Amino acid sequence: MWIADNWKEYEVIDCSKGEKLERWGKYILLRPDPQVIWDTPRSDRRWKRLNAHYHRSKKGGGDWEFFDLPGQWDLHYRELTFRLKPFHFKHTGLFPEQAVNWDWFSELIKGRKRPVKVLNLFAYTGGATLSAAAAGAQVTHVDASKGMVTWARENAVASGLGDAKIRWLVDDCVKFVQREIRRGNHYDAIIMDPPSYGRGPKGEIWKIEDQIYGLIELCSRLLSDHPLFFLINSYTTGLQPAVLSYMMGALIAKDKGGKVESQEIGLPVSTSGLILPCGASGRWTGDDR
């Protein structure tokens, strides 16, 4: 498992009975987590000293209950600053487990002896975009939500990357890739973090099990002659690490060579010493580094 264990301001304190107790800077949040099916004693005193609690509804979705939480606050990871806020369906605007991937590809970018062009699809609030840009890459950031792209740009400014080489685009990711193929554009690295299910700006339906293989195939056509890496993240139960490896092996490594690795990603739990599973990632690394 790849573990995001370099955080200073974020921490999974404890997990029990379908919920995880987290420290986000100086604020304590309690949120549901479907992986937490064990029932252990809630001994840490912070279980009763919450700033906010997200309650999941039996009908789907849920609601935040606030005790003492600002509408927005900052969280830092290395040189990056993220503007966080309680968002719909339990989110805060950041997935801390992805830091393990940020560290991985940042080192690859820094080690490259020539400029690196990165395409980040389903780019959300820009964690991967900012990490790549801070490492020196030129990044194209694509997300179907105008609000998410605006949020990502705010994070860039907060991180001192307001003038970085980042192209911000509100677009359907599949249609954007198709247009880039027709234009003859290429990228040295591709990152994708597709949702399990979603809709594009014009109502386009995205279902990952039906479309991920085709999207990887399309994206493989955008890779440059000497690509650096390809990263796929999945929070969908059916897309296990082995499945990610098989797809990347068949669609990328077969043509480009290089190395394919896939693992679960996770976060350390301070109280128990366990690792909380948080999805899976597939990594392809090119030979030209």
Please choose, from the candidates 282, 214, 213, the residue with its C-alpha nearest in 3D space to the C-alpha of residue 242.
282
Supply the pLDDT for residue 208. Answer: 75
Query: Which fold would CATH assign to domain 97-285?
Result: Rossmann fold (3.40.50)
Supply the pLDDT for residue 204. Answer: 66
Angle in degrees, 0-180, between the axes of helices 208-220 and 241-248, rounded to the nearest 10? 30
Supply the pLDDT for residue 236. Answer: 77
User: Can you give the pTM of this predicted structure?
Assistant: 0.93
Supply the pLDDT for residue 210. Answer: 76
Supply the pLDDT for residue 195. Answer: 81
- Strands 275-285, 117-121: pairing is unpaired
Q: Which residues contact 270 (CB under 8 A, 6 or more apart)?
A: 11, 12, 13, 14
Supply the pLDDT for residue 207. Answer: 73
Supply the pLDDT for residue 118. Answer: 98
Rounded distance, CA 225 to CA 286, Å?
10
Supply the pLDDT for residue 199. Answer: 67
Listed as ranges, residues in the chain with pLDDT below 70 are 198-202, 204, 206, 288-289
Per-residue pLDDT tens over the stretch 228-278: 999 999 987 778 899 999 999 999 999 999 999 999 999 999 999 999 999
The domain spans of the chain are 7-84, 97-285
Whether 283 and 227 have beta carbons less than 8 Å apart is answered as no
What is 7-84's CATH number, 3.20.10.10, 3.90.700.10, 2.60.40.1180, 3.40.50.180? 2.60.40.1180
